[in-house]
A and B are shown apart, each in its own frame.
Chain A
Amino acid sequence: MDTTITIENLTKRFGKVVAVDNVSLTIEPGAFLTLLGPSGCGKTTLLRCVAGLADPDAGEIYIGDKLVFSYERGISLPAGQRDLGLVFQNYALWPHMTVYKNMAFALEIQKLPKDEIDLLVKEALVEVHMAEYEDRYPREMSGGQQQRIALARMLAYRPKLFLMDEPLSNLDARLRMDMRAEIKRLHRVAGATTIYVTHDQVEALTMSSSIAVMKEGVLQQVGTPDRIYHYPANLFVADFIGNPKVNLLDGVVNENNSVDLGRFKIAMDTSNASEKVVVAVRPEDIAISAEPVQGAVEFTAYSILPSGADSTIMARLGGTEITVREMGISKIEMDDKIWLKFNPDTLNLYDKESGKLIVSKN
Chain B
Amino acid sequence: MTIPIVFQQPRSLKMLATFRRFIRWLTRVQVALALIMLVLMFYMIIIPLYRMVETTVTWQAHDLTRVPDAVVGELTIFHYVRMLTGVLGRIYMYTPLQHSMTIAIGATLLSLLIGGSLAWLVVRTDMPGRKLVNQLALIPYIMPSWTLAQAWLVLFKNRLSGGTPGVFEFLVGQNPPNWLSYGPVPIIICSALHYYTFFFLFVSAALMSIDSNLEEAGELMGASRWRILRKITFPLVMPAILSGFIMTFSKVMGTFGGPNILGTPVRYYVVATMIRGSMGVGDKADGFVLAIVLILFSVITISLNQRLVGTRKSYETIGGRGFVAQVSKLGKKKYALRNAAIIFQILVIVLPLGLLILSTVMLRDGNYSFSNLSLQHWIGARNTIYNHGEPGVLRNPKIYKTAWNSIRLSLWTAFFTALLGVLLGYAIVKGRGTRLSKLVEQLAYIPYVIPGIAFGAVYIAMFIKPLGPIPALYGTFALLVIVSVAKHIPYSSRSGVSAMMQVGRELEEAGQIAGANVWQRFRRLIFPLTSAGFVAGFLLTFITTMRELSLIILLVTPQTQVLASQTMFYIENGDGQMANVVILILISIVALGNFIIGRFRGGSLKKGLGM
List residues of chain A with CB under 8 Å of any chain B CB: 51-53, 55, 65-67, 70-76, 78-81, 84-86, 88-90, 92-96, 105-106, 109-110, 153, 157
Contacts and interface: CB of A to CB of B under 8 A. Distances in A.
Contacts of B506: 88-90, 92
Given A74-B21, A90-B504, A66 B1 contact: yes
A109 B20 contact: no
A105 B511 CA distance: 8
B105 interface: no
Interface stretch (B269-277, B460-468, B521-529): B521-529
A90 B24 CA distance: 28
Contacts, number: 87
B602 to A, nearest CB: 12
Given A80-B516, A105-B516, A109-B516, A92 B17 contact: no
B484 to A, nearest CB: 30
Interface string B1-31: 1110100000001001111110010000000
Given A80-B514, A81-B515, A157-B514, A94 B17 contact: no
A88 B507 CA distance: 9
Name, among A85, A89, A106, the residue most crowded by chain B CB atoms within 10 Å (CB to CB): A106
Interface string B470-487: 000000000000000000
B316 interface: no
A98 to B, nearest CB: 13
A84 B3 contact: no
A105 B517 CA distance: 12
A75 B513 contact: no
Contacts of B512: 52-53, 78-80
B520 interface: yes
Given A73-B16, A74-B20, A80-B516, 4 more contacts: A66-B2, A73-B3, A86-B513, A96-B529
B216 interface: no
Nearest to B14: A72
B514 A106 contact: yes
B515 A80 contact: yes
Contact of A94 (B2, B21, B510): B510
Contacts of B18: 74
B219 interface: no
Interface size on B, as a range, is 20 to 34
Given A76-B24, A90-B504, A53 B516 contact: no
B1 to A, nearest CB: 5
Contact of A53 (B17, B504, B509): B509
A89 B509 CA distance: 12
Interface in B491-546: 504, 506-507, 509-517, 520, 524-525, 528-529
Contact of B520 (A70, A90, A109): A109
19 contacts: A52-B513, A53-B509, A53-B513, A70-B17, A74-B16, A74-B19, A78-B512, A79-B509, A84-B513, A88-B506, A90-B506, A92-B504, A92-B507, A92-B510, A93-B510, A96-B529, A105-B516, A105-B524, A106-B516
Contact of A109 (B3, B21, B514): B514
A52 B515 CA distance: 11
A110 B515 contact: yes
A68 to B, nearest CB: 8
A233 to B, nearest CB: 33
A157 B515 CA distance: 11
Nearest to B2: A67
Contacts of B19: 74
A58 to B, nearest CB: 12
Contacts of A80: 512-517
Nearest to A83: B515
A73 B509 CA distance: 25
Contacts of A89: 506
Contacts of B1: 65-67
A10 B3 CA distance: 19
A70 B20 CA distance: 11
B30 to A, nearest CB: 13
A343 B529 CA distance: 62
B327 to A, nearest CB: 30
A51 B513 CA distance: 7
B517 to A, nearest CB: 8
Contacts of A86: 509-510, 513
A78 B24 CA distance: 10
A53 B514 CA distance: 12
Nearest to B531: A96
Contacts of A85: 513
A57 to B, nearest CB: 10
Given A73-B5, A96-B528, A96-B529, A88 B20 contact: no
Contacts of B509: 53, 79, 86, 88, 92
A93 to B, nearest CB: 8
A89 B506 CA distance: 9
B437 to A, nearest CB: 14
A80 B518 CA distance: 11
Name, among B21, B517, B520, the residue most crowded by chain A CB atoms within 10 Å (CB to CB): B21
Nearest to A85: B513
In the A-B complex, the 5 residue pairs with the smallest Cβ-Cβ separation, listed nearest first, are: A80-B515, A74-B20, A74-B17, A106-B514, A92-B506
